Amino acid sequence: MDQHALQVWSSAHLAQVEQALERWVGGDAPAGLGQAMRYAVLDGGKRLRPLLVMAAREAIAAGDGDAQPAPGRQEPALRTGFDEAALRAACAVELIHAYSLVHDDMPCMDNDVLRRGKPTVHVQFGQAQALLAGDALQALAFELLTPEDAGVPAAVQARLCRLLAHAAGSSGMAGGQAIDLASVGVALDEARLREMHRLKTGALLQSSVMMGAACGEASVAAWAGLSAYGAALGLAFQVVDDILDVTQDSATLGKTAGKDAAQDKPTYVSLLGLDRAQAQARDLLDQAHAALGQTALPDTRALAALADMVVSRSH
Amino acid sequence: MDQHALQVWSSAHLAQVEQALERWVGGDAPAGLGQAMRYAVLDGGKRLRPLLVMAAREAIAAGDGDAQPAPGRQEPALRTGFDEAALRAACAVELIHAYSLVHDDMPCMDNDVLRRGKPTVHVQFGQAQALLAGDALQALAFELLTPEDAGVPAAVQARLCRLLAHAAGSSGMAGGQAIDLASVGVALDEARLREMHRLKTGALLQSSVMMGAACGEASVAAWAGLSAYGAALGLAFQVVDDILDVTQDSATLGKTAGKDAAQDKPTYVSLLGLDRAQAQARDLLDQAHAALGQTALPDTRALAALADMVVSRSH
């Protein structure tokens, strides 16, 4: 799948995700909270995490459907339940990502005023509302994963909550952010920089892939291969982020460029230099492709194209 | 059960909860995050919400065990799974409560420096770490509810996540806090004040009761009665909180007294006067007791005593 085909594939899936977010986020929240939640989530972002959920779900479903349908295996009702679960997982992981940006932009953290080309949430709605909107978005993620009567099997609901909670919390994203906080002005070696990013950005990207895989019946090989794919992609994403922070301007990025250096934060570029950082990004892309080969799934083209996109993106 | 018997009952249950929190909170979180999480949760608080979970779970289990054990009904393994679920639910709801206090105390919200007789988390660890610790505690709550191999049935895991996420989010606690933010200096009538507190404090207290009930097989009558009990108790808690804010000093409360009036926040006392607020608390206590009578459960003594305690407490 080339980048044009990926765009066609993405558009179809994102339409579903955007509609669902529109329907599910903040509609009945009182006292301006809903507006802040919707501002943080709707109309913006590459939606990489939802796309990873959808692509992984499709890869698993294709693996399952390719064989002759065996009796008792993924009946139509169950398939529908899995589709519903994948859509909810796609939205939930995006809500966690969105809340982390809202909190991360606040004055006590990165103190950033621009995000996706718009004023950040606390600039628009005040810090107190931004804090609450982030908190409410995190809760909403778990609410979306546990619908009472949407046909999603309870075991899938529990597994999705488990994956997302682990990736979002102190062993994942929040833990990585704490390391980040403690690393300003500190010389990290490459192993510690990698560990920080594995938690801060990688965990949620990897869990997006695993959540997609959890919306179906993944074999052991598929699960392991997708996990390795998610880990490589997660790290590649961050290496490229560090590269873009020095090679692009704020208008292209839709957020403040050059802020890592300004804040004296360790990055792959500051540690390895631009050339070696770019070589590392290509190396991780190779690893991601190789991992897909290990899954024994018949169609991982969307996942492969998403990895290409992550490494070749300009913002 | 009188207040002395309640204390004996509570001590036994809290020992379990404190041990579990000690084990589960922040142990492997990096870069000081774990310390901030543990500071926020351990060694403090009345633990009312965990006690409500445990008491509701016991009431349901007694209702179930009272009949002759029918074949296939709550086998020993399932009972153990329900006990594990109740302990996890008790801890999870306390984590949500603790995170809300951490964020609520921050300078952009209530800007409070004293909590449970100690400096608040942001005073002790800085605002950025406090923000992250709160975020990580919320994620941990859902992680505790979805253990992979602790014998908790997936349907119970999903139901517990659903109840907690709904109570914590924009239709519950976070929504109530948004109304609270928007109400400073505004004259609320009693209906709107009640709605604010139903969300801000009531939803999580009520969900504590319902989460306990979800760790077992509650009849329709038991579910409805416990829901009404939780609603009455939740509101009573807030009315009494408003009363204590004007009748007690900071040392007794372990937090800053008189701050509602200082911040020009509407309260039951400012709206109704002290006498009518006290009458309302007694009235809500009667409603809570009456609701327990509707459950048709054989032993709701701990729940009844907890309601008495909520209304008669001095801090």
User: Phi first, then psi: what are they for A52, rounded to 5°?
Assistant: -65, -40
Round to whole Å and give the CA distance between B75 and B150. Answer: 16
pLDDT at residue A67 above 60? no
DSSP assignment of A58-114, as one string?
Answer: HHHHHHHHHSPPPTTSS-HHHHHHHHHHHHHHHHHHHHHHHHHHHHHTSTTTT---E
CA distance A137 to A145: 13
Residue A66 has pLDDT above 60, yes or no: no
Q: What is the pLDDT of residue B228?
A: 98
CB–CB contact A178 B109 (8 Å): no
Residue contact A135–B134, C-beta within 8 A = yes
* Domains contained in chain A, number: 1
Q: What is the pLDDT of residue A258?
A: 67
Which chain A residues are closer than 8 Å to B31 by Cβ? 175, 178-179, 181-182
pLDDT in tens, A271-297: 899 999 999 999 999 999 999 999 999
Residue A161 pLDDT greater than 70, yes or no: yes
* Distance, CA of B227 to CA of B218 (rounded, Å): 11
Question: Which pLDDT band, with edges at 50, 70 and 90, does A305 fall under?
Answer: very high
Secondary structure of residue B115 in the 3-state scheme = strand
Whether B221 and B298 have beta carbons less than 8 Å apart is answered as no
Which of A262, A261, A268, A298 has its CA nearest to residue A283? A268
Nearest to A177 by CA among A110, A232, A112: A110
Q: Do B131 and A106 touch (CB under 8 A)?
A: yes
Q: Per-residue pLDDT averaged across A22-34, rounded?
A: 93
Mean pLDDT (whole number) for A179-197: 88
Q: How close, in Å, is residue B165 to chain A by CA atoms?
A: 5
DSSP-derived pairing of the beta strands A114-115 and B114-115? unpaired
| Distance of alpha carbon B80 from alpha carbon B300, whole angstroms | 21
Chain A partners within 8 Å of B154 (Cβ)? 153-155, 157-159
Q: Do A136 and B30 touch (CB under 8 A)?
A: no
Q: How far is B235 from chain A (nearest CA, A)?
A: 19
Q: Domain holding B217: CATH number?
A: 1.10.600.10
Min Cα separation B306/chain A (Å): 28
Residue in chain B nearest A168 by alpha carbon: B139
Which residues in chain A are closer than 8 Å to B136, comparing Cβ atoms? 169-170, 174-175
What is the amino acid identity at position B174? A
Whole-prediction pTM = 0.94
Cα A140 from Cα A29, distance rounded (Å): 11
A314 vs B235 pLDDT, higher one: B235
Q: Provide, for chain B, the percentages of residues in helix, strand and coil under a 3-state DSSP scheme, each rounded to the nearest 5.
A: 70, 0, 30
**pLDDT score for B72:** 52
What DSSP state is assigned to residue A32?
T
Contact at CB, B29 and A155, closer than 8 angstroms:
no
Q: Is the pLDDT of residue A69 over 60?
A: no
Q: What is the mean pLDDT of residues A99-113?
A: 95
CB B143 within 8 A of CB A165: yes
What pLDDT, on the 0 to 100 scale, is given for residue B75?
63
Q: What distance in Å separates the CA atoms of residue A236 and residue A230, rounded to the nearest whole number? A: 10
Separation between Cα atoms, residue A229 and residue A232, nearest integer Å: 5
CA distances from B134 to A105, A210, B115, B131 (A): 16, 25, 15, 5
Q: Which segments in chain B show pLDDT lower than 50?
A: 66-69
d(C-alpha A180, C-alpha A196), whole Å = 7
User: What confidence tens digit (pLDDT) does each residue in A224-235 have?
Assistant: 999 999 999 999
Give A68's pLDDT tier (boundaries 50, 70, 90): very low
Summarised one tens digit per residue, pLDDT across range B114-155 is: 988 899 999 999 999 999 999 999 999 999 999 998 899 999
Q: pLDDT at position A63, please?
A: 72
pLDDT of residue A226: 98
What mean pLDDT is reported for chain A? 91
> For the purposes of burial, counting CB atoms within 10 Å of the CB of A136, is it exposed (0-12), middle (13-18) or buried (19 or more)?
buried
CA closest to B177 among chain A residues: A132
| Residue B263: burial class (beta carbons within 10 Å; 0-12, 13-18, 19+) | exposed
- d(CA B303, CA B212) in angstroms, rounded, equals 11
Whether residue A208 is predicted with pLDDT greater than 70 in this model: the reply is yes
What DSSP state is assigned to residue B149? S
> 3-class DSSP state for residue A308?
helix
Structure tokens at A132: 């609450």
Give the per-residue pLDDT at A171.
96
Provide the token pair at B42.
């351990």
Is pLDDT at A65 greater than 60 in this prediction?
no
A25 close to A37: Cβ distance less than 8 angstroms = yes
Our CA-based measurement puts residue A36 at a distance from the nearest CA of chain B, in whole angstroms, of: 11
Cβ <8 Å between A142 and B142: yes
Average pLDDT over residues A73-102: 89
CA distance B258 to B278: 17
Work out how many CB contacts closer than 8 A connect A with B. 186
Nearest CA in chain B to A38: B170
What whole-number distance in Å separates Cα of residue B57 and Cα of residue B75?
A: 16
Q: What does the alpha-carbon distance between residue A190 and residue A97 come to, in Å, rounded to a whole number?
A: 25
- Give the pLDDT confidence of A129-143 residue by residue, as tens digits: 999 999 999 999 999
Q: Which pLDDT does position A256 carry in this prediction? A: 67
Tell me how far apart the alpha carbons of residues B168 and A38 are, in angstroms, rounded to a whole number: 18
Q: What is the pLDDT of residue A130?
A: 98
The domain of A133 spans 3-312
Secondary structure (3-state) at B118: strand
Distance, in Å, from the CA atom of B168 to the CA atom of A143, rounded to the nearest integer, reads 10
Pairwise CA distance, residues A188 & A181, whole Å: 12
- C-alpha distance from A21 to closest chain B C-alpha (Å): 15
Average pLDDT over residues A82-107: 97
How far is the C-alpha of A143 from the C-alpha of A152, rounded, in Å?
Answer: 13
**Are the beta carbons of A165 and B179 separated by less than 8 Å?**
no
Compute the nearest-CA separation of B140 from chain A (Å).
6
Question: Would you state the pLDDT for residue B69?
Answer: 46
